[in-house]
A and B are shown apart, each in its own frame.
Chain A
Amino acid sequence: AQTVTQSQPEMSVQEAETVTLSCTYDTSENNYYLFWYKQPPSRQMILVIRQEAYKQQNATENRFSVNFQKAAKSFSLKISDSQLGDTAMYFCAFMKGPYNAGNMLTFGGGTRLMVKP
């Protein structure tokens, strides 16, 4: 069974600064996918960024990037130039491969990020 751990229940950052959210996971699988989802207050969870375990290059999406350390089983999310709209709960999630859309996501406990003006 897989486990996902987010060790920071809450974080805050000043607008325009950079913040890193931590995520570690435990699995015996070699083929898997990792995700960061964002849930703004009273809104749906939306996908922020995705990483395939077989890719060494870290995924980036505009101001969002990850630091994927496969050997350490670590998958942190960096948010650059933080904006007020980044205030949300952030969930790290794991899906075992090979890819099948029916596969379950295993979520971490979430990190509540507040961006301060």
Chain B
Amino acid sequence: EPEVTQTPSHQVTQMGQEVILRCVPISNHLYFYWYRQILGQKVEFLVSFYNNEISEKSEIFDDQFSVERPDGSNFTLKIRSTKLEDSAMYFCASNGGASTGELFFGEGSRLTVL
């Protein structure tokens, strides 16, 4: 069964460093998303992406964040200069555009900023 895959599963970085989290959505899906969950808190929406542009973004998704679909398969989240508060589990998801609204999530990438 097709799955959304994310790499790395865990990344440790120093404050101020750039981080790129990678996702491979399900191949025929059209909509892509990033969500994050800070430990002990709610899962929060960051951004949705369709047709090579951002559809919607939250207040969290400031200039430090960017997304890109560099080729036909990958969807990346870049954090330019990481802060301690960026430590979280980052979930990628995709959707084929069906009206069911079902998102298919990856297992997440845990980012630890020291």
Contacts and interface: CB of A to CB of B under 8 A. Distances in A.
Which applies to chain A's interface (DSSP): helix, strand, loop or mixed?
loop
B101 interface: yes
Nearest to B43: A107
Nearest to B48: A102
Contacts of A110: 42-43
Which bracket fits the contact residues of B?
A: 20 to 34
A50 B107 CA distance: 21
Interface stretch (A15-23, A39-47, A63-71, A73-81): A39-47
A42 B31 contact: no
A105 B4 CA distance: 18
Interface string B58-92: 10000000000000000000000000000000010
B95 interface: yes
B54 to A, nearest CB: 9
A3 to B, nearest CB: 10
Which applies to chain B's interface (DSSP): helix, strand, loop or mixed?
loop
Q: Which of A45, A102, A104 is most buried by chain B, counting CB atoms within 10 A of its CB?
A: A102
Nearest to B5: A44
B101 A35 contact: yes
B3 interface: yes
Nearest to B29: A101
B96 to A, nearest CB: 8
Interface in A62-117: 91, 95, 99-110
B101 A45 contact: no
Nearest to A91: B43
Interface string A14-54: 00000000000000000001010100001111110010000
Interface of A: 33, 35, 37, 42-47, 50, 91, 95, 99-110
